[in-house]
Amino acid sequence: MSNELMDKIVRSIDDLPPMPSTIIKLSELIKNPMTSGKDIAAVISLDQALTTKILKWCNSPLYGLSKKITSVEQAAALLGNKAIQSLATACCANQIFDKELDGYMIDKEDLWKHSIGCAAGSQIIAQKKFPALRDTAFTAGLLHDLGKIILNNYVKDEFVKIAKIVEEEKIPFTEAENRVLGFDHTEIGAKAAEKWKLPQDLIDAIRYHHDASQAKENTQLVACVHLSNIICLMFGIGCGCDGLMCKVDENALKLLGIDEAEFEKISSEVLDSIQSTESLLD
């Protein structure tokens, strides 16, 4: 059953809203080191709604800029092309993530809040530990639960079995997903990301965000997203029936070099950041 179901689900990825062409164009542009802020702005300016949203985000407390940003080109010059690409992805992801996940018992808006929270947290952790990954970590945190949206639509009946196993045996939700379905939401999310031709580092972050030790590459990015996801769940943001039924990966903590005291400090900063982004949730 699992292979057949998995094939059906992977085919269903075509039914998701497509990644907007602007994001695909930006992904291509960003690969070229010669791309300028002007090039990035030229692509984004074709989409007026996206331009407005990006400027709103750039002027939010998330970036703490003292000067008001009035153009995408100016934003790219100050924040960097990669930051603008991350923001553009976030603005477009809203239409995919803003929905109720009844199977996971996650209310409408809560998945989006969780995604934004995980993005902000991943960015903060990366900024402290691996600054070069800051912008990619934001995008990876944003997209990490992509698989839940897809699974939620296709395995509604099986969720009852999964939830029962988790409750009775106190095992991680992903382990129960694997036992009942033969795969879990991280695998489906990674397959969707592959189908969308997202970069490998994002695919790895989506695939290993619950089991960071299994990542062979992009381990630093995976660890940032893993820890940020844990923080958001501990805060109760987007915490459905699967919420606390997961494990903290000790190797990820070691890789990040984070002890209890620093974890609390980071959690506190993540909360501040999440609360400062609440005005961006519409």
Partner 1 sequence: MPDIQISMSQVKIANDPGFTLVIPNIVSGIGIVMYDPIKKIGGAAHPIIPNCGSPSDPNPQKYVDKCIAFLAKDLESKGANRGTLFVKIAGGAKMLNSVGIPMGEKNLKSARETLAREKLSVKGLDIGGSIKRTLMLNISNGEVTVERFNEGTKKI
Binding residues for partner 1 (CB under 8 A):
105, 163, 170-172, 230, 233-237, 239, 241, 243-248, 250, 253, 259-260, 263-265, 267-268, 271-272, 275
Provide the minimum distance between the beta carbon of 242 and partner 1 in the complex, in angstroms, as a whole number: 11
Paired residues of 101 in beta bridges:
106
Question: Which CB, 52 or 275, lies closer to partner 1?
Answer: 275
Report, in Å, the least distance between residue 157 CB and partner 1: 17
Query: Shortest distance, CB of residue 228 to partner 1, whole angstroms?
Result: 12
What is the rounded CA–CA span in Å between residue 203 and residue 143? Answer: 9
Identify which of residues 15 and 167 has a Cβ nearer to partner 1 in the complex.
Answer: 167
* Count of Cβ atoms closer than 10 Å to residue 221 Cβ: 26
Instruction: Report the nearest approach of partner 1 to the CB of residue 114 (Å).
Output: 11
Interatomic CA distance for residues 189 and 69, integer angstroms: 34
Between the CA of residue 249 and those of 42, 75, 92, 146, 171, what are the distances in Å?
Answer: 42, 36, 31, 21, 15
Torsion of CA 108, 110, 114, 119, to 10 degrees: 60
Least CB distance to partner 1 at residue 245 (A): 6
Q: Which two tokens stand for residue 18?
A: 């497509």
Helix (H, G, I), strand (E, B) or coil at 9: helix
Name the residue nearer to partner 1 (CB basis): 78 or 239: 239
Q: Rounded to the nearest 5 degrees, what angle is found at the Cα of 169, between the Cα atoms of 161 and 246?
A: 90
The four Cα atoms 28, 30, 35, 40 give a dihedral, to 10 degrees, of 90
CB 125 within 8 A of CB 228: yes
Please report how close the Cβ of residue 161 comes to partner 1 at its closest, in angstroms.
Answer: 15
- Of 28 and 272, nearer to partner 1 (C-beta) is 272
Q: Which is nearer to partner 1, 18 or 236 (CB)?
A: 236
Q: Cβ closer to partner 1: 81 or 273? A: 273
Q: Which residues pair with 106 in a beta bridge?
A: 101
